[in-house]
Amino acid sequence: MVLMAVTVVFVVLILLSMPIVFSLGLSGLFGLWYGGYPMQQLSSALVSGSQSWVLLAIPAFVFAGGLMERCGMSHALVEFARALVGWVKGGLGMSVIVVAYFFSDICGSKMAEVSALGSSLMPPLTKAGYKKEDSASLIAAGTAMGMLVPPAIFMIVISQVTNTSAVTLFVAGFVPAAVIMVCLMVLVYFRARRYNWPVDSKPSFKRLGQAGMKAAVPMVVPVVILGGFVLGIITATEAGAVVAGYAILVAKLVYRNVSWREMARIAYDSAILTAAVVFLLAVASVFQYLMGVSGVPQMLAEVLKPLESHHWLFLVATALITMLFGMILEGLPAAVVLIPVVFPIAEQIGINPIHFNIVQTAAVGIGLFLPPMGVGLLMALKFADLTVGQHFRTYLPYIGALMFGLALIICIPEICLLLPRAAGLIR
């Protein structure tokens, strides 16, 4: 009864266009009052939900991503991707997927990635004869895949709410993202042959070398992240600081196109976003408390009990629920409200925590770009000047490729566990 009342209040506040974080906070506060629970639970949750060293990595990664995007690193990565795969039929479309993989390493924010890829790649795609529907689909599907490539704010948050290692999640994300990338590239290859998409450029080692030299500056970031984690040199928080420091040096010594005033503005925006994330974690603790005292975990355990003997069925069911949450509530609210309730059940039936978290991360990434309400998809469609209805039919094969990649990750746990196991982060 309490949760039903809280849900109604939450939906009403959302319909009144109140930001999700405040809607969660106010509906949680109402739930404590309506259920007669101690109000000091609110202050306790606000403190406990925001006390974690790993959260310090969020402002550093967000700042570094914003600064690198402002420097124009996305353009260097676009040129490198086009030189790498542009000689294949439909190579420009493939380069969108490749650059989405690379750019996720330095960006950390899905909305910033959509913006950068949309502004950089939409004009050349249109000029090459790609339909606007396909251009938007390529950018949306590539960015959805990129959710798995660190540094991702979502990975930091999910590691906090499930009490797992952010470093292990970061390392685990590279191979699953590559698997989904290959699925999307195969789809692009067949669509290129069907719709006669042109070859972007002739093979050229000279162009590849020149583009590689320019792309080397941003490509240092994934090397630092993966190498530092595998070798055990740095933690997630320290990686954020290192990447942020590197971004400042590159901006001032290499690109020289960002003033100190602009840098301060990027730092301010990063602080605002971090405050919103931490506050979201804090108020979500109230929801977790209300769900616990209302018996939601036990109820879900009973509902999902028939799936316990088949781990893949359990993961499919939870992934579909997470996608729905990701489409409606965006990624982070889905993580802090739903996943803490389902995670203990997954642990109890023997699913590896890292495998579970990677599957949920992929599901949220896809959910953000699902029609009709995925906020990432709506942003991609803005660049293409399309409506959801105009775009939906063309987008279906791309959704199919994303789902097929997710199915592979679910059914073959080693895709997620290979790198962490090789690095000695898990047994």
User: SS3 for 70-87, per residue?
Assistant: HHCHHHHHHHHHHHHHCC
**Type of residue numbered 370:** L
The pLDDT of residue 416 is 94
Please report, rounded to a whole number, the percentage of residues in the chain having pLDDT higher than 70.
Answer: 94
Most distant CA pair in the chain, distance: 71
pTM for this predicted structure: 0.85
**Type of residue numbered 272:** I
Place of tokens 């405050």: 275
List of residues 6+ apart from 226 with CB closer than 8 A? 170, 171, 174
Angle at CA of residue 93, ends 87 and 94, nearest 5°:
65
Average pLDDT over residues 177-190: 94
The pLDDT of residue 408 is 96
The pLDDT of residue 51 is 67
Please report, rounded to a whole number, the percentage of residues in the chain having pLDDT higher than 90.
Answer: 18
Question: Cα(228)–Cα(234) distance, rounded to whole angstroms?
Answer: 5
Q: How confident is the model at residue 108 (pLDDT cuts 50, 70, 90)?
A: low
Q: Report yes or no: 41 and 30 within 8 Å, Cβ to Cβ.
A: no
C-alpha neighbours within 13 Å on the C-beta side of residue 55: 20
Helix (H, G, I), strand (E, B) or coil at 47: helix
Average pLDDT over residues 208-213: 84
265-286 pLDDT per residue, tens? 988 988 887 887 777 777 777 7
Of residues 3 and 239, which shows the higher confidence score?
Answer: 239
Average pLDDT over residues 247-251: 89
Long-range contacts of 36-44 (CB under 8 A, 24+ apart): 37/289, 37/290, 37/293, 41/286, 41/289, 42/286
The pLDDT of residue 227 is 81
How many CB atoms neighbour CB 69 within 10 A? 22
C-alpha neighbours within 13 Å on the C-beta side of residue 387: 2
* Burial (CB count <10 Å: 0-12, 13-18, 19+), residue 24: buried
322-360 pLDDT per residue, tens? 888 777 766 677 677 778 888 888 988 889 999 999 999
C-alpha neighbours within 13 Å on the C-beta side of residue 329: 26
Q: How confident is the model at residue 362 (pLDDT cuts 50, 70, 90)?
A: very high
Of residues 292 and 390, which shows the higher confidence score?
Answer: 390
Question: Cα(302)–Cα(313) distance, rounded to whole angstroms?
Answer: 15
